[in-house]
Amino acid sequence: MDITQALTAFAALSQPLRLDAFRLLIKAGATGMAAGDIAVALGAKPNTTSQNLAHLVQARLIFSTRAGRSIIYTADMQGLSALLHFLLEDCCGGRPDACASLIETLAPCCPPNSQNTPKDLTS
Amino acid sequence: MDITQALTAFAALSQPLRLDAFRLLIKAGATGMAAGDIAVALGAKPNTTSQNLAHLVQARLIFSTRAGRSIIYTADMQGLSALLHFLLEDCCGGRPDACASLIETLAPCCPPNSQNTPKDLTS
DNA sequence: TCCATAATTCATGAAATATTGAAGTATAAA
DNA sequence: TTTATACTTCAATATTTCATGAATTATGGA
């Protein structure tokens, strides 16, 4: 991750439609969503949505795969991880407690002891 | 954290000088840095730097305190945490392994078992 | 092949953002 | 009080970014 790509990523997230789209895809998970469904969900026009999704792809925040006539967009967790790593590089400087609140932020989502034991896959 | 504030934060990080400044303050830690020192470190003019730091303050990514004639800027880890929480809301949807890589990103910085036991405070 | 569906690409005017120099405010020292 | 230092605010221009409508590409079915 270089600074140019990080700037591209943050610029991608600094526009309402794109931020909404990315958060929608975060919630959608690994299944992803078709471009058309994203446009409907966000109440935006297909061409506008398409151009904004292209921004997110270039920023490596999402990726696309074709499925018949549809194009499925999915959040790129690896890309997001690289971005956060770039942003937080050397954040602690010998004092890990300085960013403990960041860990707490992710804790409700991914508690350390349950990374490989999903809460509920029976329902 | 509402969407407007999140957009302000990402817009703040989408400009070269501001991204550099924020990362510099992340590395500087709780001590922070004076506005003039930041400008020198980044090779930017004082007024340009000042205006860009103001963006980061409004975005709640940094905060300022006065010390004599200097104004000290410091990274706002709580604000950053709120931003990431907003971005990653419901990111797992019952499948925490989906964002395990995000945890790994922060792990080198803040290993789960050493949040309150800094690596080295003797030097 | 012909048509419909799904999505993208292109060009343009409108809106937002960035940088600059000049002027202004606040603190400290002579 | 006068001067210097540290930083910010203001106003203007230049640049970048955005949404829109029209045209284009790709796939699937009749």
The radius of gyration of chain B from alpha carbons, rounded to an integer in Å, stands at 17
CATH architecture of A1-111: Orthogonal Bundle (1.10)
> Which strand D nucleotides have any atom less than 7 A from protein CB atoms?
5-10, 17-23, 26-28
**Residue A107 near chain B (CB below 8 Å):** no
Report whether A20 contacts A42 (CB < 8 A). yes
Query: Measuring from the CA of residue B17 to each C1', which nucleotide is nearest?
Result: C18
Instruction: Tell me the sheet residues that pair with B70.
Output: B67
- Crossing angle of helices A77-88 and A3-12, rounded to 10°: 120
Q: Nearest to residue A118, comparing CAs of B105, B104, B111, B93?
A: B93
pLDDT greater than 50 at residue A28: yes
Q: Which residue has the higher pLDDT, A96 or B89?
A: B89
Q: Which residue has the higher pLDDT, B41 or B114?
A: B41
Report whether A25 contacts A39 (CB < 8 A). no
Residue nearest to nucleotide C28 (CA to C1'): B69
Per-residue pLDDT of B10-37, as tens digits, reads: 999 999 999 999 999 999 999 999 999 9
> What is the distance in angstroms measured between the alpha-carbon CA of B36 and the sugar C1' of C22?
19
User: What pLDDT score does B97 carry?
Assistant: 65
CATH architecture of B3-78: Orthogonal Bundle (1.10)
